[in-house]
Amino acid sequence: MKDEISIINKAKHTIEMESKAISNLANLVTNDFAHAVNLIYNSKGRVIITGIGKSAIIANKIVATLNSTGTPAVFMHAADAIHGDLGLILEDDVVVCISKSGNTPEIKVLVPLIKSAKNKMIAITGNKDSFLGQQADYILNAFVEQEACPNNLAPTTSTTAQLVVGDALAICLLELRGFSSKDFAKYHPGGALGKKLYLRVHDISSVNEKPKVHLDTSIKNIIIEITKKMLGVTAVVENEKIVGIITDGDLRRMLTKVDDFSNLTAKDIMSANPKHINADAMAVDALEIMENNDISQLLVIEKGNYAGVVHLHDLIKEGIL
């Protein structure tokens, strides 16, 4: 078995090496970057991103990031492009070509075809003096001194650099477009991320039971209500307004303090002025209130009236937590 300390040290060395290379990218940003961003922003077409090998994988990721942040993008594999996929490129499209060396055979065949169609071309390359660098309209420099691979062969640091340059491009475009969290939710309706951005308290609380008692409700009937509604809590309501809350914990604490509770009512054991949230608030805001106050249930109001309960378990089930 390989020495654990040696493995840990190698992992740290790899991370530190890539980290330094990424930090250096900030020194390589030139006016070309700003021109490239404005070119894409003002374009009436899409962004076509192409590459080969590991660069093609990075291209796919950048495409996904652009699409999810408001910039239409399409992936085109460089090898497939010269065998028919060039038809993907439309007149107003901007082409982003990714290549560490900028001199691969596929790139040398592809680039003149793009130029002949008069599409603007942006290069993400580690070699600005390469064939690709010389032919591109704008160069986004992704130079790294060395791969993390001990043989300096496997694309590691270089592909990380390409990815970071692509992220920087996407974020600049996002800010130019004024892309908001509401826009983000529109493009990410599924999964936990989307739910955090669009799911409202009402969407959750409306499917729950609506436990409630009055100020003069007996302890027995309070226990029945909490047990029946299965939320571990009940609101104390008068004229549809919340005046208090009773939880399972309140009942347990009461039992430790009194021997005879036959004459007690809700007003004797409730907590007044309970935490609550509006039905149209975001579900993630309900979670924040629960976490800040160390509670598991939150009463819901709508137009000032009691509207139900949202439980921490509901948020967990929806993937909010």
Give the C-alpha distances (Å, rounded to integers) separating 78 from 65, 109, 169: 20, 9, 21
- Taking only the tens place, the pLDDT of each residue in 219-252 is 999 999 999 999 999 999 999 999 999 999 999 9
Same domain, 254 and 162: no
pTM for the whole thing?
0.68
Same domain, 249 and 159: no
Quote the domain boundaries for residue 287: 201-317
Q: Residue 12 falls within a domain, yes or no? A: yes
Q: Is the pLDDT of residue 192 over 60?
A: no
Closest listed residue to residue 110, CA positions, set 77, 143, 134, 139:
77
Domain boundary among 179, 212, 229: 179
Average pLDDT over residues 205-226: 94
- 77 has binding-site annotation: yes
Q: Residue 112 falls within a domain, yes or no? A: yes
Q: Give the pLDDT of residue 186.
A: 66
Q: Residue 191 falls within a domain, yes or no? A: no
How many structural domains comprise the chain?
A: 2
Please name the helix (run of DSSP H) or strand (run of DSSP E) that holds residue 124, with its range, or none.
Answer: strand 121-125
Q: Give the pLDDT of residue 74.
A: 96
Q: Is the pLDDT of residue 46 over 60?
A: yes
Q: Is the pLDDT of residue 187 over 70?
A: no
Distance CA 49, CA 39 (A): 14
